[in-house]
Amino acid sequence: MIDETEKQQLNEIREEIDQIDAEIQALISRRADCAQKVADIKTKGGQVEAVFYRPEREAQVLRAVKARNKSLIPDDEMARLFREIMSVCLALEQPIKVAYLGPEGSFTHAGVIKQFGSSVHPLAVSSIEEVFEIVEKGDANYGLVPVENSTEGVVKQTQNELVTTPLKISGEVGLEIHHCLLSQQSSLEGIEKIVAHPQALGQCEQWLKNNAPRIALEPVESNALAAQMAQQDASLGAIASEAAAQLYSLNVLETHIEDRKDNTTKFWVIGSEATEPSGEDKTAMVLAMPNKAGSLLDVLSSFATRNISMTRIVSIPSTETKWDYLFFIDVDGHQKDANLAEAIQEVQQKTSFCKILGSFPVSPLN
């Protein structure tokens, strides 16, 4: 039990918290006034097309928040709070409409909130092509499209659209994928078999060994199918997302059963404006080159000799007859950096097709 002295202490702490809250609120209010002043300057003379959302500026603010964080609150949680404060202030200047594809229930939606904060206006559409179309028409300010995920690899429609779209990549978002054990049962007892995509079974191997050593495992085509099967058969457990539990009315017996915790899906933000340097950026491009020995190596050397790191390379068969393959390459740096600009100029001479998809801030949010 708490005695009288402690009760008194608790009251004093609560009064201190109330005082702190009042100060925080006064500051947030001042921040909103600043946002309003920015909007006034930008729209002076009726420039309705003024750009309010500045991905490079937001990335810088969030990086600064993480860098100076010495509190008990984890860096990413602190950054998320500021992400929300910025989102509310930005909405005062201009409501941001973001089109996205929602294949896995609320999963991609979570990516929109993570990148833009809760004051964003999300707009669900039913295909990746439509995300591009709606942003190109100007019916949404930005789009969020999946680039690759660890179970299904590269998302081809996104890559295909990027080759021809006039839009630019202006940001990246990573979302951790957590595997859950789902079932109609409310505990492991009563489960006779666990079904999942083979990669999911592999990613949860240790957990399954420790917690369900006697339960049979069976690989199926996808985790969504596994959840569907568990909905129809009470003796099954399925490995899938928490969103799938909602979709298929299953119980979540356990969350985070994956052995490694760095299993993520990557999204890109697409929009009509180029993004300025933020101090820590990436540049994405797509290239095609003459089909002769050494041509890829030659291209890559333009980056390597300038000490530019390549963070990703993916080749996909081209839908155009002119080339066999298209190469999607991400490198460190912004296309306005002198070093990278020079490399790009050189690469353009070595390739038969070279399109810069965009330079954008490395995501400050884990």
**151 touches its own copies (CB under 8 A):** no
Shortest Å, Cβ 52 to its own copies: 12
Shortest Å, Cβ 74 to its own copies: 9
Shortest Å, Cβ 142 to its own copies: 16
Applying CB under 8 A, which of residues 94, 105, 199, 225 lies at the interface with its own copies? 105
Applying CB under 8 A, which of residues 48, 53, 88, 229 lies at the interface with its own copies? 88
Stretch that binds its own copies, among 83-91, 265-273, 286-294, 329-337 (CB under 8 A): 83-91
Shortest Å, Cβ 37 to its own copies: 5
Nearer to its own copies, 141 or 184 (CB): 184
Shortest Å, Cβ 34 to its own copies: 5
- Do 90 and 35 touch, CB atoms closer than 8 A? yes
Q: How far is CA 313 from CA 47, 109, 327, 329, in A?
A: 40, 27, 7, 5
Instruction: Compute φ and ψ for 135, nearest 5 degrees.
Output: -70, -40
Stretch that binds its own copies, among 80-88, 164-172, 284-292, 352-360 (CB under 8 A): 80-88
Stretch that binds its own copies, among 79-87, 147-155, 162-170, 293-301 (CB under 8 A): 79-87
How far apart are alpha carbons 245 and 227 in whole angstroms? 7
CA angle 83, 89, 91 (to 5 degrees): 100
Two structure tokens written together for 275: 């993004």
- Do 143 and 135 touch, CB atoms closer than 8 A? yes
Q: Is 268 helix (H, G, I), strand (E, B) or coil?
A: strand
Applying CB under 8 A, which of residues 85, 200, 296, 357 lies at the interface with its own copies? 85
- Do 278 and 363 touch, CB atoms closer than 8 A? no
Q: Which residues in the 33-72 window bind its own copies by CB under 8 A? A: 33-38, 41-42, 44, 57, 61, 64-65, 68-72
How far apart are alpha carbons 64 and 70 in whole angstroms? 12
Shortest Å, Cβ 185 to its own copies: 10
Structure-derived torsion over alpha carbons of residues 195, 198, 200, 203, reported in degrees to the nearest 10? 130
Nearest alpha-carbon partner for 180 in 146, 212, 223, 151: 223
- Do 76 and 294 touch, CB atoms closer than 8 A? no
How far apart are alpha carbons 354 and 315 in whole angstroms? 14
Shortest Å, Cβ 132 to its own copies: 12
Q: Which residues in the 319-358 window bind its own copies by CB under 8 A? A: none
Give the burial class of 30: count Cβ atoms within 10 A of its Cβ; 0-12 exposed, 13-18 middle, 19 or more buried: exposed
How far apart are alpha carbons 172 and 177 in whole angstroms? 16
How far apart are alpha carbons 102 and 165 in whole angstroms? 21
Stretch that binds its own copies, among 31-39, 163-171, 214-222, 351-359 (CB under 8 A): 31-39
**278 touches its own copies (CB under 8 A):** no
**267 touches its own copies (CB under 8 A):** no
Q: Which residues in the 237-266 window bind its own copies by CB under 8 A? A: 242-243, 245-247, 249-252
How far apart are alpha carbons 52 and 64 in whole angstroms? 20
Shortest Å, Cβ 217 to its own copies: 23
Nearer to its own copies, 137 or 214 (CB): 137
By rule CB under 8 A, what count of residues binds its own copies? 77
**178 touches its own copies (CB under 8 A):** no
Nearest alpha-carbon partner for 177 in 197, 158, 160: 197
**11 touches its own copies (CB under 8 A):** no
Applying CB under 8 A, which of residues 53, 55, 58, 89 lies at the interface with its own copies? 89
**120 touches its own copies (CB under 8 A):** no
Applying CB under 8 A, which of residues 75, 130, 273, 332 lies at the interface with its own copies? 130
Applying CB under 8 A, which of residues 53, 63, 109, 354 lies at the interface with its own copies? 109
- Do 145 and 270 touch, CB atoms closer than 8 A? yes
